[in-house]
Amino acid sequence: MSSRPDELGDDALVVAAQQGERQAFEILVERYKEKAYRIAYDFTRDREEAKDLSQEAFLQAFSHLKGFDRRSSFYTWFYRILVNLCLDYRRRKAKVSWESLEERVEKGEGFANPGPSPVEETMRGEISERIGAALATLPPKQRAVFLLKNHQGLSISEIAGVMKSAEGTIKVHLHRAVIALKQRLAELA
């Protein structure tokens, strides 16, 4: 590897990692760990679960790296692993449980910061909870497509690659998710 391995593209890093250069894979982890965590957090709404899922995705990617044929980009291949783990998590966790206000106060969350007023904070929390609840009611594939598009900024073609689906199918999932969310959130408008 060159003297500045962090300047290498994903393809060069993958080749180096496949040849046993551990530092190359560590650079890929550094490059994508924040995005991976955000995607996992969007699915779980739990910091620890999001950390666990994103770490598990990197472990799976590392253990299967020799078999990665580079027909897709590393980014697409890795996010496919992550999204599949998140979808599995959602299936296992059939019901989303939200922390009560009392639990948040006991943990010292929410009110220690002298930012927004308690009323504003409560309204934001209520709105966030309603949006989260509305997202939780979506079928897993619609939720995944919606989150990847709107929270992670992926294009339709990138999402199609991640989810191994046709672009038309992704568009249908996204359209249905938007309609369902509009219906469930109409009262907030």
State the Rg of the chain over Cα: 19
Residue 18 pLDDT level (bands cut at 50, 70, 90): very high
Mean pLDDT of the chain: 81
Output the DSSP codes for 25-89.
Answer: HHHHHHHHHHHHHHHHHHHH--HHHHHHHHHHHHHHHHHTGGG---SS-HHHHHHHHHHHHHHHH
Q: Which tens digits make up the pLDDT trace of 155-167?
A: 898 888 888 889 9
Whether residue 73 contacts residue 61, with contact meaning beta carbons closer than 8 Å, is answered with: no
Tell me the two tokens of residue 55: 């770490």
**Number of helices and strands (H, E) in the chain?**
9, 0
- pTM (predicted TM-score): 0.57
Residue 58 has pLDDT above 80, yes or no: yes
Selection from 6-10, 84-88, 114-118, 168-172 with the highest mean pLDDT: 168-172
Per domain, the residue ranges of the chain are 7-94
Residue 62 has pLDDT above 90, yes or no: yes
Q: Which of 40-44, 49-53, 111-115, 176-180 has the lowest mean pLDDT?
A: 111-115
Q: How confident is the model at residue 51, as a pLDDT?
A: 95
Which class for 146: exposed (0-12), middle (13-18), buried (19 or more C-beta within 10 A)? Answer: buried
Does the domain at 7-94 match CATH 1.10.1740.10? Answer given as: yes
Q: Which tens digits make up the pLDDT trace of 66-102?
A: 999 888 889 899 999 999 998 888 877 754 444 445 4
